[in-house]
Amino acid sequence: MRTVEVLVVGGGAAGIAVAASLLRRRSEAAVAIVEPQDKHYYQPAWTLVAGGLFDPSKTERPMRHCIPKGVQWIRASVAAFDPAGNAVVLDDGERIGYRVLVICPGLQLNWHAIEGLPETLGRNGVTSNYRFELASYTWQLVRTLREGAAIFTQPPMPIKCPAAPLKALYLSSDIWRRRGTLGRIEVKLNISGAALFSVPLFVPALLNYVDRYNAALSLKTTLAAIDGPARKAWFEIQNEDGSVRRVAESFDMIHVVPPQSAPDFVRRSPLANGEGWVDVDPATLRHRRYDNVFSLGDACSAPCTKTAAAVRKQAPVVATNIAAQLSNRQPCTTYDGYGSCPIVVERGKVLLAEFGYGGTPMATFPLDPVKPRRSFWFMKRYILPFVYWHLMMTGREVLAGPTGPARIAP
C-alpha cells in the first residue's frame, strides 16, 4: 500500500485552496490530491453566465493547471474510507494510506430525486445553473422567451449557494424588464422552505425585488416531477395541517435546483454524522472522532453556508491545524462560520449577504448590509473571480489568514 503524508480528497475549491495554503506553511509536506475530473470550475460565475454577463469558458480551467506545484495528482475517485486503518479505497480497489486525511469532495446533486428530470434536463425549456453546460442553456432560454410562464424552484436546504435560485430569478426577470417583456411573462418562485432566505435580516430587501419583478412566491412548495415534452411540472405543497397536496403547473421555461446531499460514499462511511456530512468540530474543522482527519467545503458538517466564500476562510484554518497535527500539536486556529452570498438582484447591483454561525451578520464593510450596491456588483463581476483564481487557488491568503479579517466572498 502506498502512503502519503497528507491526502486530500477532491480537487475543487476546497481541495486546491487547502493544499496551496498548507504548502505555503510547510513547503516540504508531501501532499496528494485524489480527483477524477480533468476540469476545475469556478461555479460562482455560473449565475452570471446564465444572464449573459460572463464568458462560460472563463469559469473552467484544466485541473492540471490548478493543482498546486509540488502536489501529486492521483486521478481517481475515492470509493470508501477506512479511518481505523488510516487508508482510503479508490474506485479501482487500490488502498492509499495517509498520515493526515482532508475530505472535500463537495456535495451530491440529486437530479434523480425529481421524477422525469434527468430525461429532460437541457431540453424542452428545462434548465439549471447548477451544471456548467446548462448555465448557457438558461441564457438561451431567457433571451428567447417573449411570453408565457417561467418557474424558478428551490429544494429543501442545505444546498450550495442558497441564494443561487433567487439570483436565477432576479437576473432573468431583470432582462425581461429591460426588454419590456416582463409584463407578458408570468414569473413564479416555488420554494420548498418556509422562508425566502435563512437569515431574516436580508428577507425584506429580497422580497422587494420579488415584488418588483411581480413574481408569485409560493413557500413550502417542492418540485416532485416534471414532464419536459408536455411542459408540465408537479409540485407538492404542504398545507397548514401538515398534509400535502399535489398540483400541476405549466411552464415555458423552468429553472430547477436539484435536492442536494452529502456524496453517497461519505454518507455510508464511518466518518459521517447522522445527516451524512463529514462530522467535524465546527471551530477547528477536525473530525470529532479521528484526530488526523479534517474536512472543509460543502461536504463538511459545519453549520455554515455552503459557499466558496466559506471555503476561503476555512482553508487557512485547516492548513494551520494540519501543520500543527504534523508537528504532533493540537489544532490552534478556529473558523468563525463566515459565509457569504453576493446576491445579484439586477444587472449592476448586488446585495452582499455576509453572515456567520447562527445567521449572525458579519459585514466586511461599514455599510448598510441590506442595500444592493453597484460597488458590490463590480466586486462580484470582476474582483472575486480574480481573488478565486489568483489568491485562493494559490494559497495567497490576502485578508483571509486565520488571524485576519477574511470576509470577502468569491
**Region from 44-52, 138-146, 230-238, 318-326 binding ligand FAD, contact rule CB under 6 A:** 44-52
- 37 forms part of the interface with ligand FAD (CB under 6 A): yes
Write the DSSP symbol of residue 385: H
In 3-state terms, what secondary structure has residue 373? strand
**Region from 23-31, 139-147, 287-295, 298-306 binding ligand FAD, contact rule CB under 6 A:** 298-306
Shortest distance, position 163 Cβ to ligand FAD, whole Å: 7
Distance separating alpha carbons of residues 404 and 410, to the nearest angstrom? 17
**Region from 12-20, 53-61, 145-153, 394-402 binding ligand FAD, contact rule CB under 6 A:** 12-20
- 269 forms part of the interface with ligand FAD (CB under 6 A): no
Q: Which is nearer to ligand FAD, 186 or 304 (CB)?
A: 304
- 298 forms part of the interface with ligand FAD (CB under 6 A): yes
Count of residues that interact with ligand FAD, criterion CB under 6 A = 38
Is 332 catalytic? The answer is no
Is 341 catalytic? The answer is yes
The owner of cell 448590509 is 369
Give Cα separations from 286 to 50, 385, 394 (angstroms). 37, 29, 22
- Give the sign of the dihedral formed by CA 9, CA 15, CA 20, CA 22: negative
Site residues for ligand FAD, 64-103, by CB under 6 A, read 77-78
Site string for ligand FAD, 147-166 (x = CB under 6 A): -------------xx--x--
Task: Please identify which residue in 4, 15, 175, 189 interacts with ligand FAD, judged by CB under 6 A.
Answer: 15
Distance separating alpha carbons of residues 166 and 156, to the nearest angstrom? 14
What is the rounded radius of gyration, in angstroms, for the C-alpha atoms of the chain?
Answer: 21
Q: Which residues contact 79 (CB under 8 A, 6 or more apart)?
A: 89, 90, 91, 265
* Residue 260 near residue 110 (C-beta atoms within 8 A): yes
Q: Which residues contact 62 (CB under 8 A, 6 or more apart)?
A: 38, 39, 40
Q: Which residues are catalytic?
A: 161, 341
Which residues here bind ligand FAD, judged by CB under 6 A? 9-15, 34-37, 43-44, 46-47, 77-78, 104-106, 129-130, 160-161, 164, 263, 265, 297-299, 306-309, 311, 342, 409-410
